[in-house]
Amino acid sequence: MKQGYVHIYSGDGHGKSPAALGKAVMSAAAGEKVVIIQFLKEKGVSESEFISRLEPEVKIFRFEKSEVNFDELSEEKKTEEIINIKNGLNFAKKVLTTGECDLLILDEVLGLIDNNIISAEDLKNLLSVRDEQTDVIMTGISMSDEVCVLADEVSKIETMKFKRWENI
């Protein structure tokens, strides 16, 4: 029987979501079912259009309605979007409770903590309903020790700038 793991892809570098999407494609190619729930992403993210062609093995969901980045919304619109985001979290809980996938990706879920939409304790409670065989990947820029301990493995992705070889 497979043991599921919780992975975190975090850091200020680019590539956290693509790394998670790569894992989704690999899992689907192995015959597993994947659910991706995106948070705090602007509407029309190009990965969504591509990944939607991988159904039914990979299913992608985005509960937010705004086409604008969350940080740019008025307080009234943020309140509306928080309701949509919480619907997405409730859906994630349902997915984990029913075990309807082998891999659940919560893309940019750590940003919900940064924006005070949920707490680390809320995330812990969400993961507590997970079937022990289900893998979970969570992505986001920042991560506290409180979140780090929820994972079996943490990958920190940083952007490093080097001089190009022709300038050396």
Q: For 77-124, what is each residue's pLDDT tens digit?
A: 889 999 999 999 999 999 999 999 999 999 999 999 999 999 999 999
Domains of the chain: 6-167 (3.40.50.300)
Under 8 Å between Cβ of 4 and 152: no
SS3 of 155, please?
Answer: strand
Element (H, E) at 26: helix 16-29
Structure-token pair, residue 151: 């994972």
DSSP E strand boundaries for 83-151: 103-107, 135-140
Per-residue pLDDT, 48: 59
pLDDT above 70 coverage of the chain, percent = 91
| C-alpha span between 88 and 61 (Å, rounded) | 8
Structure-token pair, residue 149: 């301990």
Q: For 116-146, what is each residue's pLDDT tens digit?
A: 999 999 999 999 999 889 999 999 998 899 9
Structure-token pair, residue 83: 């309701």
Helices marked H in 30-63 — which ranges? Answer: 46-51
DSSP 93: H
Per-residue pLDDT, 37: 94
N- to C-terminal Cα separation, the chain = 53
Sheet hosting strand 103-107, strand order edge to edge = 58-62, 34-38, 103-107, 135-140, 6-10, 153-156
Q: At residue 46, does pLDDT exceed 50?
A: no
- Closest C-alpha to 31, from 101, 134, 105: 101
Under 8 Å between Cβ of 102 and 23: no
Element (H, E) at 72: none
Cβ-in-10-Å burial (0-12, 13-18, 19+) of 54 comes to middle
